[in-house]
Structure 1
Amino acid sequence: MTDDEELAWTVESSHVAYECPGFDIVHDEVTLPDGSRTDYDYVDEPPAVVVLPFTPNGDVVVIDEWRQAVGRVNHGLPAGSVEPGDDDLALAARRELREETGFEAGSVEPLTTVEPANGIGNSVHHHFVARDCEPSADQDLDHDEHILVDTRPYDELLAAARDGDLRDGRAVTALCFHELFGDSA
């Protein structure tokens, strides 16, 4: 028996307990490896793309957006859900960058893929580095998005992550992977 088989839960039944735009809450009845039964609820949401966008001079295109769950403005990076039919994640990253910021990328390369909160959700975030980003159009925001766009020096963004001023997990993950692996991620 492999570790996966030894640790796997068996789903006896599953249903969507709550639906809303952007995610669902799923309720599973499961049997644990020791044979006991319990229930488990989790957030079910589509995969997302996150973009670390650099301008030609090395600054980073950043966004400020209200986040109701934490009750404050979030300083972060462009990100958004992968839509049905998005077979090319790099194209989805380009689209999200353009829609949220009005910037167009000269190139887009994969950085990493993570499961940011796999204890409570099935989220998968695909991070990309975009280079030579230039303003090219107006933002094309969703009805519930209100986003301010700015550029910041990369070192300033890193300092904000170190100091705890940049708290968005997607942005911090992108910066950490970029610092660890740079263009070889």
Structure 2
Amino acid sequence: MSIKTLSSREVYRNNWLSVREDQIERSNGVPGIYGVVDKDDCAVVIPLDGDRIYLIEQFRYTIQQRCLELPQGGWETADIDPEQLARGELREETGFSAEKMIYLGTMWIAYGFAKQKQHVYLATGLTHEGVDPDPEEHDLILRSATVAEFEQMLLDGTIQDTCTIAAWGLYRLWKERQQTGAV
């Protein structure tokens, strides 16, 4: 290990996350402080119906903008089954249930300062059953686009959410390997 934790103290906590400050010693002996945001696992879902992809538009307080992104989130519950979480987020945010959920991989969201893992799923065989948003999600708007339109939004900066961009990258790699027979 290149960084040794000497001590750790929680400096903030709410229902969604905690922040801790760790006193550290680097491998070269230099002491320091490391701030870490701890959050439970979350999921991001790619709802794909033929050539249409479904997105969520919502206001993101930290950047004071409405943003387009794939459905994603967490339940502030440790040790939840990732597929159950992904199905729940899909239903809450889009109103869709999925006949099939394909696990594409796991990503650390921003491990330079946060400890939160995100599970990536492809959702197909979609059936609309009505939305079930959390109180904080009252302003969600369901949008759809063709895959070509969606990819253009990724390229032109309309969509800047790194989780959405990275999840789509995993999907494209998975799809390419499905087509070539590589595992």
Question: Structure 1 length as normaliser, TM-score?
Answer: 0.89
Contact (CA 8 Å) 1:82, 1:89: kept in 2 or not?
A: no
Contact (CA 8 Å) 2:103, 2:120: kept in 1 or not?
A: yes
| Segments ≥4 residues shifted beyond 4 Å | none
Q: Please provide the CA RMSD for this pair.
A: 1.7
- Tell me which of 3, 6, 12 is aligned to 1:12: 6
- Which residue of the partner structure matches residue 93 of structure 1? 86
Shift of 1:43: 1.2
Question: Structure 2 length as normaliser, TM-score?
Answer: 0.90
Letter of the 1:22 counterpart: W
Specify which structure has the higher proportion of strand. 2
Residues 109-124 of structure 1: pairs in structure 2 closer than 5 A: 109-124=102-117
Contact (CA 8 Å) 1:48, 1:125: kept in 2 or not?
A: yes
Query: Could you tell me how far apart the structure 1 residues matched to 2:47 and 2:62 are?
Result: 25
Query: Could you tell me how far apart the structure 1 residues matched to 2:39 and 2:140 are?
Result: 22
- Which residue of the partner structure matches residue 66 of structure 1? 59
What are structure 1's unaligned runs of at least 5 residues?
none
How many residues end up aligned between the 2 structures?
Answer: 177
- Which residue of the partner structure matches residue 45 of structure 2? 51
Contact (CA 8 Å) 2:16, 2:76: kept in 1 or not?
A: no
Is residue 27 of structure 1 aligned with residue 28 of structure 2? Answer: no
Q: Helix, strand or coil for the counterpart of 2:166?
A: helix
Letter of the 1:32 counterpart: R
Contact (CA 8 Å) 1:86, 1:92: kept in 2 or not?
A: no
Shift of 1:98: 0.3
Query: Could you tell me how far apart the structure 2 residues matched to 1:36 and 1:144 are?
Result: 43
- Which residue of the partner structure matches residue 36 of structure 2? 42
- Which residue of the partner structure matches residue 71 of structure 2? 78
Shift of 1:61: 1.3
Shift of 1:21: 3.0
Q: Helix, strand or coil for the counterpart of 1:144?
A: helix
Q: Helix, strand or coil for the counterpart of 1:22?
A: coil
Q: Helix, strand or coil for the counterpart of 1:35?
A: coil
Identity within the alignment, %: 25
Would the alpha carbon gap of residues 167 and 38 (structure 1) be closer, same or farther in structure 2, given more than 3 Å must change?
A: same
Contact (CA 8 Å) 2:109, 2:117: kept in 1 or not?
A: yes
Superposed CA offset, 1:12-31 (max 9, x none): 11121111231111111111
Query: Could you tell me how far apart the structure 1 residues matched to 2:22 and 2:107 are?
Result: 23
